[in-house]
Amino acid sequence: MPLIETSTPSAQLAAVRTSIAKAAALAGRPAEAVELIAISKTHDAAAIQPLIDAGQRVFGENRVQEAEGKWPALKEAAPDIALHLVGQLQSNKAAQAVALFDAIHSVDRESLADALIRAIDRAGAAPTCFVQVNIGEEEQKGGCAIDTLPVLLGHCRTIGLPIAGLMCVPPLQVEAAPYFALLAKLARDHGLSGLSMGMSGDYETAVMLGATHVRVGTALFGGRS
């Protein structure tokens, strides 16, 4: 969805929410079944605050360190904000991630699952976790391979790491729908209801194919520096 540069953050947020509601209605789904995650990576607190003022309460970041630098103060002023980690996570940052984030979308290997469950046990609280699948089998992207997904999910269940669903980032410049449909099938096959899929250019398609979480940045904030 293109960003109208002259529109206000409130108008941009309303436009995205309207598009989600329309796509959900076409699929026979309630709009409330889709969580809008405003991807605020690389944007500073001054850019984020207008969306908070407009009522947005779920945000996503790519890196633990960047989030630590700007979100504690923002969350102190608005404690009902939920923060999602949507980028790759190093195992040695697991404790920091568990302390800061309400959801982690990038569980992609057994060693990370092990680090997260240790951090959760120490913290006494668990973020919502998604397993990231390398749905397009791209070497440069994170996520577990499709054929290793059953093993990773089995490991997570064995150690007690709660997995809410699956996440993917389809290849660029190709039709995303087949990849979203495949992720939805994989989730059904494994008894998972959560689907974190869809970004600014394809979130409406993702909603029609069952997304429960869409990760929208550019359509809300404009281009990143």
Mean of pLDDT values over 21-31 = 98
Query: Does any domain span residue 207?
Result: yes
Query: Does any domain span residue 176?
Result: yes
pLDDT confidence tier of residue 175, bands split at 50, 70 and 90: very high
Which domain range does residue 85 map to? Answer: 9-221
The more confident residue out of 61 and 6 is: 61
Give the span between the Cα atoms of 115 and 145, in whole angstroms: 20
110-126 per-position pLDDT tens digit: 999 999 999 999 999 99
Percent of the chain, pLDDT > 70?
Answer: 96
CATH code, 132: 3.20.20.10
85-110 per-position pLDDT tens digit: 999 999 999 999 999 999 999 999 99
List of E strands, the chain = 35-39, 58-61, 82-85, 103-107, 128-132, 163-167, 194-196, 213-216
Among 26, 23, 3, residue whose Cα is nearest residue 13: 3
Answer yes or no: is pLDDT of 6 > 60: no
Among 121, 58, 56, residue whose Cα is nearest residue 85: 58
Mean of pLDDT values over 166-179 = 96
Query: Does any domain span residue 4?
Result: no
Model pLDDT, residue 140 = 87
Q: Are strands 163-167 and 58-61 parallel, antiparallel or unpaired?
A: unpaired
pLDDT confidence tier of residue 223, bands split at 50, 70 and 90: confident
Model pLDDT, residue 4 = 46
Query: Does any domain span residue 2?
Result: no
Number of domains in the chain: 1
Query: Does any domain span residue 113?
Result: yes
Query: Does any domain span residue 133?
Result: yes
